[in-house]
Chains A and B, each alone.
Chain A
């Protein structure tokens, strides 16, 4: 049973470059979440989707960040242009959002380093 799949696992890029992170949720899950984790701020919710529709993007830091979910099996998080302060681990997670106690299932994360 495949879990949430994220790619790439590691990304090292230079400031100003565009970065695209990818996520495939668990089949049948209708909610998808993007989180960012740093030592200082912990796990922060960036945006989440229900049935492919963005519900709350208030956690997206600024206009340099954008996320899409063109279908139920794929989502991207894009940073353009990237900055050193974007360095973090980015997690994608999915759940059966309609169930009250449905837990989140996380992918392995993408460790982003912007130099």
Chain B
């Protein structure tokens, strides 16, 4: 089982739609969780951190379920500018140290 798994998509949605992405992770000792956004031919950029209590930033809501080892990202009222690849990221510790492990990403395409 891969450390971080995501549905690659693509998700093709119209403007204004609500879309949800899911992510599962295998290391139950994982410490921190993030969603990153990557535009075509650009570097990944932090979208938001994910907390057990859930957190919201405008149209974006992230949730963490530690028992199920599951992370989600909800985007409401999709905009054309939301088109990008969304990467689920898990900070895990192993014998060597602590590093951030990325999922392969879920591609979102919002159309007018």
Partners in one complex: yes
**Interface residues in B79-107 (C-beta closer than 8 Å to A):** 87, 89, 91, 94, 96-105
In the complex, residue of chain A having the shortest beta-carbon distance to the beta carbon of B8: A42
Check: A58 CB closer than 8 A to any chain B CB. Answer: yes
0 or 1 for each of B33-54: is its CB under 8 Å from A? (1 = yes): 0101000001111100100000
User: How many pairs of A and B residues are in contact by the CB < 8 Å rule?
Assistant: 51
Contact (A55, B97) CB under 8 Å given A42-B102, A109-B43: yes
* B43 and A108 contacting across the interface, CB-CB below 8 Å: yes
Alpha-carbon distance A58/B45, docked complex (angstroms) = 24
Q: List chain A residues, Cβ under 8 A from B100.
A: 33, 45, 104
Contact residues of B: prevailing secondary structure:
strand
**Interface residues in B55-93 (C-beta closer than 8 Å to A):** 87, 89, 91
* B49 and A48 contacting across the interface, CB-CB below 8 Å: no
Q: List chain B residues, Cβ under 8 A from A50.
A: 97
Alpha-carbon distance A35/B42, docked complex (angstroms) = 14
Check: A71 CB closer than 8 A to any chain B CB. Answer: no
* A56 and B94 contacting across the interface, CB-CB below 8 Å: yes
A interface residues (Cβ-Cβ under 8 A, vs B): 33, 35, 41-43, 45, 48, 50, 55-56, 58, 91, 97, 100-101, 103-109
